[in-house]
């Protein structure tokens, strides 16, 4: 278990909850939407800059995406033991940059299908991002997390929340980009989210009868990790 979690001795335990019992997919939610593709296309530039920053220690400023792909990205190959990987990715990155421009400027001419676009951008973003990394700073907004009876109590930015198992499962489905906004809740509090940030960095989450809160994607991942840990082990306590 993670070092940042503490375990308490208790004689009673909370039941584990099956997420599939609490919601179901909405009709038509299986394929990506234009908004899904647009989000991944905008994330592509951030992913490229983040990859370069991890190699240089400095976030690229005042440098266009095309120039970064042409002049800098090739200097930091991923998996040198696979010599064919990086040249193929660089070619894909050049094509994605051109597609990104069309998407951002709402020019649909010559664009592939939504599913193809989403898969290509999502695959590139996944490759460029650090795998599974959730830093400690991503958890700074969350505190005082522990089970009290049938509810998990915690704070986000000093606002208090008390959620039961179905509530938590609904929140987990909204925190996950792959299911965000695509499910019908059968149990628990209603949960929704909106992208109110023009930079596509902070998502605002709404839980029925609770204070809304904003999280960047890394913080959403951190909250996912915490909630899943607590669902699976009722003896945990997060200070």
Tens of pLDDT, residues 22-52: 667 767 667 788 988 998 999 999 999 999 9
More confident residue, 25 or 63: 63
pLDDT at 88: 93
pLDDT at 137: 58
Helix (H, G, I), strand (E, B) or coil at 176: coil
Confidence of residue 161 (pLDDT cuts 50, 70, 90): very high
More confident residue, 139 or 150: 150
- Report the C-alpha gap between 37 and 28 in whole angstroms: 16
State what percent of residues in the chain have pLDDT above 90. Answer: 50
Model-level pTM?
0.61
- Report the C-alpha gap between 182 and 23 in whole angstroms: 10
Confidence of residue 21 (pLDDT cuts 50, 70, 90): low
139, 231 contact by CB (below 8 A): no
Closest CA to 191 of 200, 181, 199: 181
Confidence of residue 7 (pLDDT cuts 50, 70, 90): very low
Confidence of residue 235 (pLDDT cuts 50, 70, 90): confident
Closest CA to 229 of 115, 100, 142: 142
Closest CA to 212 of 233, 232, 182, 192: 192
For the chain, list the strands marked E by DSSP: 6-7, 23-25, 142-148, 151-156, 159-163, 183-185, 191-194, 202-207, 213-216, 236-238
- Report the C-alpha gap between 68 and 45 in whole angstroms: 10
Closest CA to 217 of 151, 164, 116, 138: 138
pLDDT at 2: 43
Q: pLDDT digits over 180-227, tens only?
A: 888 888 889 999 999 888 877 889 999 999 999 999 888 998 898 889
pLDDT at 23: 63
Confidence of residue 100 (pLDDT cuts 50, 70, 90): very high
């Amino acid at each position: 278990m993670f070092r940042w979690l503490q375990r308490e001795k208790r004689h009673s335990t909370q039941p584990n909850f099956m997420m599939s019992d609490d919601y179901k997919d909405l009709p038509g939610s299986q394929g990506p939407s234009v908004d899904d593709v647009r989000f991944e296309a905008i994330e592509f530039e951030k992913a490229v800059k983040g990859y370069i920053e991890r190699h240089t220690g400095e976030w690229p400023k005042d440098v266009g995406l095309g120039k970064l792909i042409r002049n800098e990205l090739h200097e930091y190959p991923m998996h040198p033991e696979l010599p064919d990987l990086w040249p193929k990715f660089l070619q894909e990155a050049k094509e994605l940059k051109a597609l990104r421009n069309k998407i951002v400027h709402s020019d649909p001419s010559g664009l592939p299908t939504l599913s193809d676009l989403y898969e290509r951008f999502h695959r590139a973003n996944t490759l460029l991002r650090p795998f599974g990394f959730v830093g400690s700073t991503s958890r700074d907004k969350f505190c005082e997390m522990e089970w009290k009876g049938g509810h998990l109590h915690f704070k986000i930015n000093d606002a208090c929340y008390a959620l039961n198992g179905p509530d938590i499962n609904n929140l987990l489905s909204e925190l996950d980009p792959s299911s965000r906004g695509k499910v019908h809740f059968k149990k628990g509090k209603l949960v929704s989210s909106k992208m109110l940030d023009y930079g596509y960095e902070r998502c605002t989450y709404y839980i029925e009868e609770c204070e809304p809160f904003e999280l960047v994607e890394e913080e959403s991942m951190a909250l996912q990790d915490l909630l899943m840990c607590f669902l699976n082990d009722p003896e945990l306590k997060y200070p």
